Structure 1
Amino acid sequence: MQIKTPDIGVDKATVAEILVKVGDTIAVDDSIVLLESDKASVEVPSTSAGVVKSIAVSEGDEVSEGAVLIEVESADASASAQPDVKAEPVAEAKPQAKPEVQTTVTASAPATSSSTQIVDVKVPDIGVEKALVGEILVKVGDEIAVDDSIVVVESDKATVEVPSVVAGTVESVVVKEGDSVQEGVVLITVKTAGSVTTAPSAPTTTSNPVAAAEPARTAPAPQATQSGPVEIAVPDLGVDKANVSEILVSVGDRVEKDQSLVVVESDKASVEVPSTVSGTIKAIHVGENQEVKQGMPLVTIDGIADVQPSEQAQEKAAAQPVKAESKPVAQAETVVEPKAHVADSSDKLSKEQQAENAKVYAGPAVRKLARELGVLLAQVESSGPHQRIIKEDVFAYVKARLTAPQKTAPVVAAAVASGLPALPDFSAFGGGEIAAMTRLQQVSVPQLSLNNFIPQVTQFDLADITELEAWRGELKGKFKQEGISLTILAFIAKAVAFLLKEEPYFAGHLADDQKGVLLRNEIHMGIAVATPDGLTVPVLRNPDQKSIKQIAIELGELSKKARDKKLSPKDLQGANFTITSLGSIGGTAFTPLVNWPQVAILGISPATMQPVWNGSGFDPKLMLPLSLSYDHRVINGADAARFTNKLTKLLADIRNILL
């Protein structure tokens, strides 16, 4: 069995690491290769258990969706093949006519497989690369129907209840709460209950091969009894209220199951609400910019219309072996034909254009439409809220390309998006080539650009940590035996947290109307951590309420999660003050950038031994440079000087915290 590249949200990715070798025995969901793109690093899981027979890629290869990664020889497949071999001689040994025997075999094969058929229910396209299993709603032995919710998956964008696509009995639950899953990962297996009815129908149709197709058409009949007007409501979005930013369908439109209907936006995320059934839009109950909440009706779908097309499609499918095959070919041509007009625009995508595409704000349905039409989203002008690209923008772009393919204005617009002029042409000076930034660096650019609007000042000071470092030296041996790394940063975090309770403005935020300051009730401290992909800032919660030992433990855990790329969105949110340390890298002082919406950040440079005048001579002291940057709209210079002076006294004698 071939394991192929799943949909990872980008057109191409690079094989960064191969995690298996030929001869290895792997199970379902075992990671086989690590793929990297400008958006993320993804470990591709195996969809089959068995022995690795061959590896079709090598490190550094560029792959796209559907590319073969490895080939697995399944033990189950070889075992199941043996009964089939034995079944043939039995069929041949019967004295009856050969046509009847062949018809009986072909009819009974699906009957026996369907009666014991185990169906995998997988993660659908939820618009993000990875999500966490927040809750499992079923257990082994439960009877479930089509569209019954089976698990709840959560991401930083939305919370989604995944429905079952089949009815039957839950055979096994493959995932557990807290697991990280992606599109295509198996969630549960279901033993189908209704498919046993195909077994008695086989003998009645042994003499007529055409009639054998009729039981296949009777299978969807139960769906007709469940059809009718279905109301699609707002799902659990993880927030109390949201606004309808775009309606993707109109009354009379035919929609398929899981097709996006409306886009709802909150301050947390933008979510496309999918249809839970196929049918025709009967009514739309909301308008654009309307405020909605969980449970409110969005649209009504008449599911009755969904049965007739499916029956017609099955009649055509059943008639294909008898009638000429020209009809399916004609249908395929009509589907491919519209795409061919603009496919050339995506054939020559450079890495720079792909990187621009990854940064465009658009939903999964729009991205899918763009891929089908071969459209570069980076060149499409947006008209949706918050510069979101909607389907009408894509259609307008295609129309413009067909009438004026020589237009290059979007490229110029992308070049000046940062507010700076486009780069000059360096070809006369030896030229150069673009080195792509990491995804973390790209995401940081808009956040760092906000610093241009903050009137920032930096206050410098020196703290005598001679005695503090001596005490840390006495303690770190004992801490090391317990597996705890006791750094000077743990003491600094504790001292700063203590000081922020006395100076709450340094942990506040400038109000939106710039007429007040939001003073926070709790201290949540961002700790900058350097990783191979760039700088990330996980949050240390309530350090003012924790001991130095607890702080040291949590600092170690946050640093490890940051380096292993295992930080969750919650680990990065809610900070109201930041500490960034250069450790022992070097330097004497620097000016850290205030991280909006915070108003202050403390930079720590390497401590050095310096001579300090004691009134009669010089003493060698271990001096720690402090660099406090602050938003001058909220904090005055005198306040900043007082803050750093208090901090130097706390670090000189940490016992002051106990007073």
Structure 2
Amino acid sequence: MQITTPDIGVDQAVVAEILVKVGDSINIDDSIVLLESDKASVEVPSTSAGVVKSIAVSLGDSVAEGAVLIELEAEDATSKTVEPQTADAAQKTSENTPTELPDAEVMQELSAHQPQASSSAQSVDVQVPDIGVEKAIVGEILVAVGDTIAIDDSIVVVESDKATVEVPSTAAGVVESISIQVGDSVKEGVVILKVKTVGLVAPASVQAVKTESAPVQAAKTEPVVQATAASKGDVEVKVPDLGVDKAAVAEILVAVGDQVEKDQSIIVVESDKATVEVPSSTAGVIKAIHVTLGQNVSEGVALLTIEAEGQVAAAPTAAEAPKAPTQAKPQEAPKAAQQTNQPIQSNSVDKLSKEQNAANAKVYAGPAVRKLARELGVVLADVKASGPHARLIKEDLFSYVKARLTAPQAAPVAAAAAVSGLPKLPSFDAFGGVEEKVLTRLQQVSIPQLSLNNFIPQVTQFDAADITELEAWRNDLKANFKKEGISLTIMAFIIKAVAHLLKEEREFAGHLADDGKSVLLRNEIHMGIAVATPDGLTVPVLRNPDQKSIKEIAVELGVLGQKARDKKLSPKDLQGANFTISSLGAIGGTGFTPLVNWPQVAILGISPAAMQPVWNGEGFDPRLMLPLSLSYDHRVINGADAARFTNKLTKLLKDIRTLLI
């Protein structure tokens, strides 16, 4: 029996990898070759089961639709494994009696995990999911052949021009083979590795299959809950609301077996805005850690499991089962099985949205079609069915994939365009070579945000404020402040003066509307204060400085600065700023052009003050002059308005008493 190339949506493709060898025993839908074209990489599944007799292609061959790939010899009936027979029965059931499909799939799933049927363990392909870009480079492989992995364990790190992402496993078991290498360029749907699945369902579950529909559903869900629910009061600590879509795990502060207290820091995560320590939500002993260094996480992702102190959780009863967070509702369990044709626990790593899951649950398709869809990375709800009774068939999938491969590419997002305008670096080998120094995680994740400044027509207005009297007054006050443990810096006075001015010049603390036709004026002032840390610049936010005294501002400045250096800023400490001040302090320099931090429209730069001779009409007086640099978005603020703003600010700083008028 010959297996030929199906319609892959292009005229010709090149054989990039041969996934089987002569003598291998394969099942229907097992991937046999990997084909590559200038549009995509596609794994071709076998349309029959048997033993590979010969391979008709070689690496690098160019093949078209109908070209022979391999030749199969049918296996003896006695040598067939239990699983293909079960799958065939399930397929026939799905085609002839759609209403009985869930029961057939339950039988398949349960029988596949019987301890006495270990020979029926499946080899599951783990593929590249939708990572938000057309292709990415394999930066690191985190597992090896023979490793035992669980669902959601990170297996590879892929890198693109947007981000570094750790890809989680969608199956649990033992790694049989790895199909990629470091440096490979991969896309959605490319096979990463093969996993031999591990049995997870107890033998007692098989008896439940023989009962009516409701007991079947209970049998499918209850064992899973028992496997995931803790018998000793286990609690999962999850990522809280970070204020950003995702952040990278920068440091893991605990280890398995450690005793932790409630609110003790357990994980350090970094985003393009700040570094944040995540506290434990309960006290107890660390049982498992679910994340690795560098992994991107978002709100709700499980970080670790803690055996909570003084808690003993009873096994869930049948009445409690529907309330368990990891279990589907009983009436939805068959639909979930029909949708994925995998053990129920795979639902916990479903990457689809709630709307897509709801739509997929209504799709009528057999197990073989569902498996092929998973291998091709196709969402069933997006495919138009042409089979009897609106059943989705393989031809529908091939047509859908062909349409996607030939469709025009979508325009890149703004963040990608911001960094893609520069050509690749030339080679410096002929000029002494280079030494690579890796940027800190905070610097790396800041690049997309900083690149947005390329789209802002920025202008900088320079001025200088005479702060001679202000500095003298500060020196008179700071001794008493120091006794109270407060550091009184000139920044506290500057913040108070700027906050006062922003109440008059509201455009400087506003935002340009998306349509470019109006300015959104904020009702409150929340000022970002740039703080230098060993890992890079971070900008905590000082709330409502216009409503606070200089003493209160000085106290909060000290607290925010220390939290930034200790990596203890919370997400709320970094959100909502509508104006920023960046100071070089005593580092040096006479002026600089700070970058406007979108979506803000202005930023004030402060350089070190210096004594300068100032003409008084008759002679020169020594005055302490403070350089000011106001950068602004010229679409919102005119040059004359910026000059007037800095001029008003110099007058406020020259005589701070005018704030009282």
Higher relative contact order (CA 8 A, sep 6+): 2
TM-score range relative to shorter protein:
0.3 to 0.5
TM-score normalised according to structure 1 size? 0.46
